[in-house]
Chain A
Amino acid sequence: MKHVLHKLVFLLAVFLVVLQGCYEPGNEVAPVTPNATVAPIQSVIPSPEGTTLKELVIKDGSAGHNILDTALEQVEWKLTNGEDVRPSKADLLLHTEIGSQGIVALKIPKSGQTQYNVVALAKTDSKWTITSVLDIPVFNLQKNKQGLALPFDQFEIGKQKIADSDIWAFASDTKLVLIGLYPAKIFTTPEGAENIAVNNHNAWLTTTTEGVPAIYYIENEKLVGITGNLSEVELKKLAMSLPSANAASFPAVNP
């Protein structure tokens, strides 16, 4: 019986070796075509039309002390045409830093459709880490502004809850607006901010390093913060149209 088993194992081993031999690369002989011409390789830049985001990768990084460097270092995109894209400063739309909460908004380059990634970060022990990403392809557009003085007629809406704050993003092909509702206690007055009045509130108008305006005011222990790559006039108009921070429909005026 033992001998039979040994024979079987041996046969199996032989069979496997033979099988492996059959699959070794180079076993097939390629046909030789004399005088065959090789077509010149042309480098074709893939058309962005129809190209969309296939994968969003958040990598580990070491640039944690600066919020912008952190986002630029850790975000990577793979598009449906196979291209790997890293964000550069040119793709940076705007950013906010409120206490230990920050947002960096990026626009994905080389994509066939306008697409924004709104990256939320948190600062712990002076180091920024990415906590969430709101991925907004601008494709199916809405027209109902619900009473808000938005600076475009058609837009996409995205919403993200971050810790005990809520962020709404309104995006068109060229403009991105962020409206945030935060707990008031995390706010410190930004340096160099100009005092303005918004709906009888004492508000602060500031400009980010990207040259983008931002307005903040406190209402009923809540901080309202709005920013976007708009003009100051457009942003002020939007701020004036906002409902009370306590409104259940916030930021919509007429839901």
Chain B
Amino acid sequence: MRSFKVISTSVLALTMAFTGTIVSAADASPDIPVHFANGVKNDLSPQELKSLTKNLPPTATNVTIMESTSRVDKKVSSKIAPSGNACEPGYSYTDTTKTGSYVFKLAEAGSRYINRTGSNITFTSTIGTAKTISGEGSAKGEFDWKVIEAEVGFKISGSYTWTTSEGISVTVRPQYQGWIDYGTSNDYWSGYYTYVRSDCTEGSSFFLKVNGPRYKATVAHETRVY
């Protein structure tokens, strides 16, 4: 009986230690600060702010929002009021699901700045090439971006280009290296590109995944160097 108690206690202790490690690794990242620059308005809910930062790697230290994509009036319904049996014929993006919210998409990583001195050094990081990130659609069929935008509520087909003159600063601590990732914060959607007839029945449709930038953004990173 005694030996059973010893073994079960050790196993329990080991299990707790093991799961304790896993749990603390998952929750270890503190909230990464998000800074809105260039007069961009912060109108995000706490949940949306968390989406912005939750998928970033553990090296990320802060996010800067540089520019915002314009919103588009969402289409409420194809139905023609007051009758419910008549619709404006045309294409709609239907049965949609938002599969990703404010997910950072990398355009270019800046040079690495390594500080082997005893005090902080500020580096202004620029990139060597101009890269554009635009809205993307998965389907081979043609579709009108305006139809998608009326459903997702912003100019998802927009694009941002990073040029080398848009330098951002990163302050690197002693014995650390820092760098800036340049990219966009994207929303991802899936749904059906559907033809809605004038009697509100649905015609041909195809599955379509889209993603596009909500913001032009930078993510600063930092890791220890040995």
What is A's interface to B at a CB cutoff of 8 Å?
1-2, 5, 52-60, 74, 113, 129-137, 139-140, 142, 156-161
B129 in the interface (beta carbon within 8 A): yes
B195 in the interface (beta carbon within 8 A): no
Q: A133-B124, A156-B165 are in contact. List 9 more A-B contacts (CB 8 A).
A: A1-B7, A54-B111, A55-B111, A55-B112, A129-B119, A135-B113, A139-B128, A156-B164, A157-B165
Shortest beta-carbon distance, B109 to chain A, in Å?
10
Do residues A58 and B126 form an inter-chain contact, with CB atoms below 8 A? Answer: no
Given known A-B contacts A57-B116, A135-B111, A158-B165, A52 and B123 have beta carbons under 8 A apart: no
Q: Which residue of A lies closest to B4 (CB)?
A: A1
Q: Which residue of B lies closest to A132 (CB)?
A: B122
Which A residues are CB-close (under 8 A) to B125? 135
Which A residues are CB-close (under 8 A) to B90? none
Contact with A along B98-134 (1 / 0, CB 8 A): 0000000000000111111111011111111110000
Which A residues are CB-close (under 8 A) to B4? 1
Do residues B7 and A5 form an inter-chain contact, with CB atoms below 8 A? Answer: yes
CB-contact partner of B123 in A56, A129, A139, under 8 A: A56
Do residues B164 and A59 form an inter-chain contact, with CB atoms below 8 A? Answer: no
CB-contact partner of B124 in A55, A142, A160, under 8 A: A160
Which B residues are CB-close (under 8 A) to A1? 3-4, 7
Do residues A132 and B123 form an inter-chain contact, with CB atoms below 8 A? Answer: yes
Shortest beta-carbon distance, A168 to chain B, in Å?
11
A219 CA to B68 CA in the complex, in Å?
Answer: 38
Q: How many positions in chain B have a CB within 8 Å of any CB in the partner chain?
A: 28
B29 in the interface (beta carbon within 8 A): no
Do residues A56 and B111 form an inter-chain contact, with CB atoms below 8 A? Answer: yes
Q: Which of B113, B116, B124, B130 has the most CB of A within 10 A?
A: B124
Q: Which residue of B lies closest to A157 (CB)?
A: B165
Which A residues are CB-close (under 8 A) to B122? 131-133, 160
Which A residues are CB-close (under 8 A) to B164? 136-137, 139-140, 156
Which B residues are CB-close (under 8 A) to A160? 122, 124, 169
Do residues B123 and A133 form an inter-chain contact, with CB atoms below 8 A? Answer: yes
A-B residue pairs, 3 tightest by C-beta:
A132-B122, A140-B163, A57-B114
A136 CA to B163 CA in the complex, in Å?
Answer: 12
A60 CA to B124 CA in the complex, in Å?
Answer: 20
Q: Which residue of A lies closest to B130 (CB)?
A: A140
CB-contact partner of B121 in A52, A58, A139, under 8 A: A58
Given known A-B contacts A137-B164, A156-B165, A74 and B117 have beta carbons under 8 A apart: yes
Do residues B165 and A55 form an inter-chain contact, with CB atoms below 8 A? Answer: no
Shortest beta-carbon distance, A80 to chain B, in Å?
9
CB-contact partner of A60 in B111, B113, B118, B165, under 8 A: B118
B33 in the interface (beta carbon within 8 A): no
Contact with A along B73-103 (1 / 0, CB 8 A): 0000000000000000000000000000000
Which B residues are CB-close (under 8 A) to A158? 124, 126, 165, 167
Which A residues are CB-close (under 8 A) to B167? 134-136, 158-159
A155 CA to B4 CA in the complex, in Å?
Answer: 78
Do residues A132 and B116 form an inter-chain contact, with CB atoms below 8 A? Answer: no
Given known A-B contacts A1-B3, A157-B165, A135 and B124 have beta carbons under 8 A apart: yes
Shortest beta-carbon distance, B85 to chain A, in Å?
56
Which A residues are CB-close (under 8 A) to B116? 57-60
Given known A-B contacts A58-B121, A132-B122, A157-B165, A139 and B112 have beta carbons under 8 A apart: no
Which A residues are CB-close (under 8 A) to B163? 140
Q: Which residue of B lies closest to A136 (CB)?
A: B126
Q: Which residue of B lies closest to A2 (CB)?
A: B3
A122 CA to B81 CA in the complex, in Å?
Answer: 71
Shortest beta-carbon distance, A251 to chain B, in Å?
15
A161 CA to B169 CA in the complex, in Å?
Answer: 10
CB-contact partner of B114 in A5, A58, A139, under 8 A: A58
Q: Which of B139-173 contact A (CB under 8 A)?
A: 163-165, 167, 169
Which A residues are CB-close (under 8 A) to B114? 55-58
Q: Which of A1, A52, A133, A159 has the most CB of B within 10 A?
A: A133
A134 CA to B111 CA in the complex, in Å?
Answer: 12
